[in-house]
Amino acid sequence: MKYLHVLTLLFLFSCGTTRQSSIEKPNPNALIDITHAPIDARKQLQTITFGSCNKENEPQPFWTEMQPLKPDLWIWLGDNIYADTNEDKVFRAKYNRQLSNKDYAKFVRRTPVVGIWDDHDYGVNNGGKEFAQKDIAKAAMLDFLQVPTKAEVRKREGAYQSYTFGKGDTQVKVILLDSRYFRDAPIRENRNYIPNETGMILGAAQWKWLENELKNSNAKIHLIANGIQVLQEEHAYEKWENFPNERQKLLDLLIEYQVDTPILLSGDRHISEFARMEYKGKSIVEFTSSGLTHSYDALESEPNKHRVGKLITSLSYGCMMIDWSGEIPKVTLQIRGKGNKVLEEIRF
């Protein structure tokens, strides 16, 4: 009996220890739990802010400077952190560094957030479909953005998503394209990219999804965001023109489905600029907004035959304001710098 009593005590102690450790053991890769403002699809968007190229360990002046604008939505355009890793713990440590920024935490409690990645938060500089740890990177990014666990994007390959805001004639559709997960290898010659005539950026499944999103949209304004520039044709870096068939396919879809007010959003370049292109009778605008914590301030000029206004080489973020008071919405796009100074602006 004494022997059995000892065994019983040992068994109970063992069970209690196991149960306690399973409850209390922390997840070493868990993200900081910060309450984000909910995404309300019924909300009419009047002020939208966005940006890219954000080093999580550098000063971030814009979160407090944006507050007076009371933006209805913030859109991450890529390089939201600089991970450049294939390790889950590194992705999550860097996202935690961003979430621990008190100004950012305060901002996202008030402002709904959506977003897409570019290469450095994807995990590898200029990377594409060959990156083996892309699903680890995707899960970390979606957790950072607090995308619901049951969201469709969690169930499929790639990080592309869409959101529609507003009602009736005041709808804005935000389409977030993934130009990393499915992208074929580019072709380089003497360190410069040259056209890959047969390569793909979006992949077959994402193209089918995008076509359906455009075909069935009743929105008056369409924001089509991804990491890299679409309209730019002349510089030697990453851009859609490196895959010319993909670029033309995207522009053709805008024509085929007569997409209302298409505005392309991109990042990546550490500069900001506006571009406008007349394509088959339709005016297409691109707003490149980059960077939030560092910029290409040594660049004095760069050719871009589609550019409207000045090339901005200082720190900046993007702002879009929509006036719904008339029969046709009026749009103001602004590149804003430190002190909320408007560095460049276009209206249409």
Residue 229 has pLDDT above 60, yes or no: yes
Which pTM does this prediction carry?
Answer: 0.92
Computed over every residue of the chain, the mean pLDDT equals 93
Query: 192 falls in which pLDDT band (50, 70, 90)?
Result: confident
pLDDT above 70 coverage of the chain, percent: 92
pLDDT of residue 20: 36
Task: Take residue 312 and report the two structure tokens written for it.
Answer: 């901005």
Question: Token match 């998503």: residue?
Answer: 161
Query: 336 falls in which pLDDT band (50, 70, 90)?
Result: very high
Q: What is d(CA 177, CA 66) in angstroms, rounded to the nearest whole number?
A: 25
The tens digit of pLDDT for each residue in 34-60 reads 999 999 999 999 999 999 999 999 999
300 against 286, higher pLDDT: 286
Burial class (CB in 10 A: 0-12, 13-18, 19+), 39: middle
Residue 15 has pLDDT above 60, yes or no: no
* Contact between residue 207 and residue 183 where contact means Cβ atoms under 8 Å apart: no
List of residues 6+ apart from 32 with CB closer than 8 A: 96, 99, 100
Residue 67 has pLDDT above 60, yes or no: yes
Burial class (CB in 10 A: 0-12, 13-18, 19+), 170: middle
pLDDT of residue 8: 41
Over range 22-27, report the average pLDDT: 47
The tens digit of pLDDT for each residue in 106-153 reads 999 999 999 999 999 999 999 999 999 999 999 999 999 999 999 999
CATH domain 41-347 topology: Purple Acid Phosphatase; chain A, domain 2 (3.60.21)
pLDDT of residue 190: 86
pLDDT of residue 28: 66
pLDDT of residue 9: 39
Partners of 37 in the β-ladder = none
pLDDT of residue 191: 83
Query: 18 falls in which pLDDT band (50, 70, 90)?
Result: very low
